Amino acid sequence: MYDLIDNRLTHLGYDSINNILNDVLSLNSKKILIITDYTLNQLGITKKIVDILDKKVEYVIFDDIKTNPNIKNVKDATYIALENKVDLIIALGGGSAIDVAKCASIIVTNEEYKNVISLDGSINPKNNPIPVIAIPTTCGTGGEVSNFFVISDDENQKKIVGVCDKIVPFISIIDPSLAATLPKNILISTMFDGLSYALESYLSTKSCPLSDMYALNSISLIYKNMDNAINEDKDALEKVYLGVHLAGIGVSLSGFGLVHILSQSLEMKYDTFHGLSNAALLPHVINRIESKKYKDVISVMGINKEGNTKEILVNEIKEKLSKYSISSKLSELGANREDIQELADLALNCLYVKNGLVKVNKDDIINILYEAM
Ligand SMILES: [Fe+2]
């Protein structure tokens, strides 16, 4: 048996943001909390949304969110939601805004989760969370359709990973025109973030025919359209966004894997940018995982080369990273060799490793990190 995770409604395409007013009205919302980040607010993206809402519904904006969101961000967002009696959250941004929105949406209707740490693990809140409309502005999160969130517990140096089907956003609006303001290196690295999700899903021990279908289509769409998307081809960028959305559905079925787990360790230790640490780790993690499935992966990428399929894939990804000047060396992101043991311990503490979904031992992790430095 498989449980398909999806939004109730997904708009995907240029200018699909214009649907936001109809969506809000269809949910009978009286007051909205818009969760976004400071930069998007400054760039005028938030104003664009507010203008479309055209004063037909009240709103309040919260934009004080870290790149790697933490417990304080969730508490602040929840406080504003409760104080203002909001009945709908619009999450506008990358994974950070969407993850904070998912957490706040649960706590608003389920007070027993007000201690954010209690959101760790597989949770089943009694009451339905308030609905979330997710509007991703990067093309790497898949968070607009996924059933999990990741929040930093800075005090305990750990990541809270919550999994819950009730927090899948009601509606997602995926409008590639919102990516126009993103710096190129952020846009590129978030594409590798999406590609990582799809590969982690396809290689997961919990993958199933349904998640494989999403993951393979996702890999194909992201990889084949990446070059043109970066060169501002609108059709290609739309296809990359679709690919990342499919990755989000696939990874909700299968769980994520070692690239994201190690990336979380680096974020905890150095506050690295999520997309860049995923991109750097991707070839090194693949290099340590044996799988017969690489044949399918290089096939859907459109690569026609004879030889060891794993090596072909690793080299392709490294070449692509180098083409876009994205580092595959963790030391260039600020990581130190002397911290490898600590980084490995942080990774072993991840829920997915502890519950056996990702089968990896400390030696494997240490070897990957050494190679990636
Ligand atoms: Fe990610």
Residue with tokens 């007051």: 31
Q: How far is the CA of 259 from the centre of ligand 1 (A)?
A: 9
Cα(23) to centroid of ligand 1, in Å?
A: 27
Q: How far is the CA of 29 from the centre of ligand 1 (A)?
A: 30
What's the topology of domain 183-372?
Answer: Dehydroquinate synthase-like, alpha domain (1.20.1090)
What's the gap in Å between 276 CA and the centre of ligand 1?
10
Find out whether 269 and 223 touch, Cβ atoms under 8 Å: no
In contact, 373 and 340? CB cutoff 8 Å: yes
pLDDT tier at 5 (50, 70, 90 boundaries)?
Answer: confident
Does residue 2 surpass a pLDDT of 80? Answer: no
Distance 347 CA to ligand 1 centre (A): 15
Q: Residue 235 Cα, ligand 1 centroid: separation in angstroms? A: 23
Asked, colleague to colleague, whether 9-178 and 183-372 share their fold, the answer is: no
Using the mean position of ligand 1's atoms as its centre, give its distance from the Cα of residue 127 in Å.
28
pLDDT at 281 over 70: yes
At residue 246, does pLDDT exceed 70? Answer: yes
CATH assignment of 9-178? 3.40.50.1970
Whole-model pTM? 0.93
Maximum pairwise Cα distance, the chain = 62
DSSP string, 286-306: HHH---TTHHHHHHHTT----
Q: Which residues contact 109 (CB under 8 A, 6 or more apart)?
A: 125, 127, 128, 129, 130
> Cβ(192)–Cβ(238) under 8 Å?
no
**Ligand 1 center–CA 246 separation, angstroms:** 13
Rounded distance from Cα 282 to ligand 1 centre (Å)? 12
What's the CA-to-centroid distance between 190 and ligand 1, angstroms?
Answer: 8
Ligand 1 centroid–CA 238 distance in Å is 19
What is the 306 CA–ligand 1 centroid distance (Å)?
31
Ligand 1 centroid to 50 CA: how many Å? 27
Exposed/middle/buried for 161, CB within 10 Å: 0-12, 13-18, 19+?
Answer: buried
Distance 146 CA to ligand 1 centre (A): 11
Residues 312-327 have pLDDT tens digits of 999 999 999 999 999 9
Residue-wise pLDDT for 70-109, tens only, equals 999 999 999 999 999 999 999 999 889 999 999 999 999 9
Secondary structure class of 179 (helix, strand, coil): helix
Average pLDDT over residues 145-154: 92
- 182 confidence band (pLDDT: 50, 70, 90): confident
174 Cα to the center of ligand 1, angstroms: 17
Q: Could you give the residue ranges of the DSSP H alpha helices within the chain?
A: 20-26, 38-42, 45-53, 71-83, 95-109, 184-203, 209-230, 234-254, 258-270, 274-288, 294-300, 309-323, 340-348, 351-354, 362-372
**Centre of ligand 1 from the C-alpha of residue 60, in Å:** 27
Q: Which of the pair, 216 or 154, is modelled with greater confidence?
A: 216
How remote is the CA of residue 255 from the centroid of ligand 1, in Å?
Answer: 12
pLDDT of residue 60 exceeding 80, the answer is yes
* d(CA 262, ligand 1 centre) in Å: 11
- Distance in Å, CA 274 to ligand 1 centroid: 7
Domain ranges, ordered by start, for the chain: 9-178, 183-372
What is the pLDDT, as a whole number, of residue 139? 78
**Residue owning tokens 């942080």:** 346
pLDDT per position as a tens digit, 208-241: 999 999 999 999 999 999 999 999 899 999 999 9
Ligand 1 centroid from CA 30, angstroms:
32
Angle at 253 between CA 68 and CA 130, to 5 degrees: 60
